[in-house]
């Protein structure tokens, strides 16, 4: 690669780069390396550009009609500037050289940095050879291979029709699908130059049944990354049967009695409690805010010795899988907890700079209008040594939480979560359905009460909102037993 020419600051306004807006490729090297060099010449310790193109569409079927079809296109860029441990972030939808330079200038000025004098040399940053995950992993055709709008409509209407035949006392039926295609390019003053294409899709049911004063609402959603055929292969008949059965069980269920119980939580989406009540507390953003009780506990016991947990971006087609994070770092597997011992935190660039914890490929953001932050990917409790039957046999009287609902988590791990489908356990057996249950607890306490994990790890698609917006994640666990937890009810 020939050496990059030296430019004078006064020559920058006359530069004319013709990098394409409809594709992020090698032609973006020249303008971005020049702008990164400009930022460093102005006194920034580190500069990063994040470029993004998005093609999004959602479709909704209510009862027997398509009621919403919403496409969305966006293109933009964000620039992050560091000076010491301080940083700022500026975004723009102007991808011209002048537009990106203006965004950079604003970021520099926020940190008290001025543009170089007119006769100052501006050496361009020598970027690495483009790491192009999109080309290397044959992602270029993903968008064109996805379902058409007609196919989306046909599948959702057929799915809703199936739900109508399997459920009783139906008040409303809804099927919702979305496809989110994203192309990103990251260039940074440490030489990072990387491109990727992501594809996330999700589809699901929402069913409301009513019979007099008895009501039941059950939802189910599945998601995938990197599979253009996802909607075509959705087994909506099986999902319709499962949603209908759950709604039928909950329609006439008795209300749970408040108290403290041992509980068994189902696999797959049951992992949302670990994600919310513990996973967030292992992100370096929480250490920076001083809102995690685990900040000084690396290497110490924070959970039951039977609990091991991971966060990773590698599982094929899982909802939180990424080939690289939004700072250009390749995906990896991070051991969070091993046999109850806290092993690692999740860290992005800023988190690593400010806390000292190593980066874990966890710098993620909703889109170009957000700076990346430490975020989860595919996060789950690992399978254990017990069978599901062992877990139930250990409970004399308790509650089986088969499907979790919505909830909230406080800044240091206090949580309450609704249970949308629950059953009473008596002498190791399920005896009757229950409704109205709410799980109430505190992460630091509950993690030490997860005493049994079965072998049947299951993953489920989820959405996570935090400081860098809403992102796609996977939650998961095997069936687990919590020795005791407060259950709110009637």
pTM over 0.75, yes/no? yes
Average pLDDT score over residue span 70-80 = 97
CB contact set of 272 (below 8 Å; sequence gap of 6+): 404, 407, 417, 460, 462, 475
What is the per-residue pLDDT across 36-73, written as a single tens digit (0 to 9) for each? Answer: 999 999 999 999 999 999 999 999 999 999 999 999 99
Q: Are 49 and 81 in contact (CB under 8 A)?
A: no
Lowest-confidence pick of 116-130, 393-407, 419-433: 116-130
Tell whether the model's pLDDT for residue 32 goes beyond 60: yes
Distance of CA 71 to CAs 55, 56, 68, 225, Å? 8, 6, 10, 19
From the CB of residue 409, how many other CB atoms can be counted at a distance below 10 Å? Answer: 20
What is the per-residue pLDDT across 327-359, written as a single tens digit (0 to 9) for each? Answer: 999 999 999 999 999 999 999 999 999 999 999
Q: Are 279 and 415 in contact (CB under 8 A)?
A: no
Average pLDDT score over residue span 24-45 = 95
Q: Where is 152: in which H helix or E strand?
A: helix 149-166
What is the per-residue pLDDT across 452-465, written as a single tens digit (0 to 9) for each? Answer: 999 999 999 999 99
Confidence of residue 6 (pLDDT cuts 50, 70, 90): low
Domains of the chain: 6-136 (no CATH), 142-181+198-253 (3.30.2290.10), 259-488 (no CATH)
Please state whether beta strands 414-426 and 363-364 pair in parallel, antiparallel, or not at all (unpaired): unpaired
Crossing angle of helices 236-251 and 149-166, in 10° steps, is 40
Residue 1 confidence (pLDDT): 47
Three-state DSSP state, 337:
strand
Please state whether beta strands 65-83 and 193-211 pair in parallel, antiparallel, or not at all (unpaired): unpaired
């Amino acid at each position: 690669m020939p050496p990059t020419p030296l430019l004078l600051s006064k020559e920058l306004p006359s530069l004319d780069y013709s990098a394409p807006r409809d594709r992020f490729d090698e032609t973006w090297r020249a303008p971005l390396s020049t702008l990164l060099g400009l930022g460093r010449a102005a006194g920034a310790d580190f500069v990063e550009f994040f470029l993004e193109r998005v093609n999004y569409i959602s479709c909704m079927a209510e009862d027997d009609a398509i009621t919403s079809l919403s496409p969305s296109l966006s293109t933009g860029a964000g620039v992050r500037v560091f000076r010491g441990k301080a940083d700022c972030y500026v975004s723009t939808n102007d991808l011209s050289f002048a537009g990106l330079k203006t965004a950079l200038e604003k970021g520099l000025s926020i940190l008290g940095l001025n543009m170089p004098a007119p006769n100052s040399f501006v050496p361009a940053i020598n970027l690495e050879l483009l790491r192009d995950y999109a080309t290397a992993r044959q992602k270029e055709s993903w968008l064109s291979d996805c379902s058409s709008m007609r196919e989306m409509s046909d599948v959702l209407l057929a799915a809703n029709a199936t739900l109508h035949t399997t459920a009783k006392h139906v008040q409303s039926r809804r099927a919702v699908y979305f496809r989110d295609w994203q192309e990103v390019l990251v260039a940074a003053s440490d030489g990072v130059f990387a491109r990727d294409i992501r594809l996330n899709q999700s589809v699901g049911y929402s069913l409301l049944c009513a019979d007099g004063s008895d009501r039941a609402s059950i939802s189910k959603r599945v998601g995938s990354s990197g599979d253009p055929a996802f909607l075509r292969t959705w087994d909506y008949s099986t999902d319709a049967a499962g949603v209908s059965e759950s709604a039928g069980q909950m329609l006439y269920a008795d209300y749970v009695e408040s108290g403290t119980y041992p509980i068994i939580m189902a696999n797959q989406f049951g992992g949302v409690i670990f994600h919310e009540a513990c996973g967030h507390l292992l992100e370096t953003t929480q250490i920076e805010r001083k809102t995690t009780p685990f900040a000084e506990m690396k290497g110490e016991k924070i959970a039951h010795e039977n609990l091991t947990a991971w966060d990773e971006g590698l599982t094929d087609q899982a909802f939180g899988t990424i080939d690289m994070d939004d700072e250009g770092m390749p995906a990896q597997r991070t051991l969070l907890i091993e046999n109850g011992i806290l092993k690692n935190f999740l860290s992005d660039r800023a988190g690593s700079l400010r806390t000292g914890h190593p980066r874990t490929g966890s710098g993620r953001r909703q889109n170009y209008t957000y700076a990346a932050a430490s975020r989860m990917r595919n996060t789950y409790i690992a399978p254990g040594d017990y069978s599901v039957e062992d877990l139930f046999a250990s409970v004399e009287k308790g509650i089986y939480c088969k499907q979790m609902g919505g909830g909230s988590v406080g800044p240091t791990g206090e949580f309450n979560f609704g249970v949308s489908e629950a059953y009473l356990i008596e002498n190791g057996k399920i005896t009757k359905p229950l409704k109205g249950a709410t799980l109430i607890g505190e992460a630091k306490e509950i993690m030490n009460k997860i005493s049994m994990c079965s072998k049947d790890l299951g993953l489920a698609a989820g959405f996570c909102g935090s400081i860098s917006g809403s992102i796609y994640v996977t939650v998961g666990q095997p069936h687990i037993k919590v020795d005791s937890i407060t259950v709110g009810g009637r």
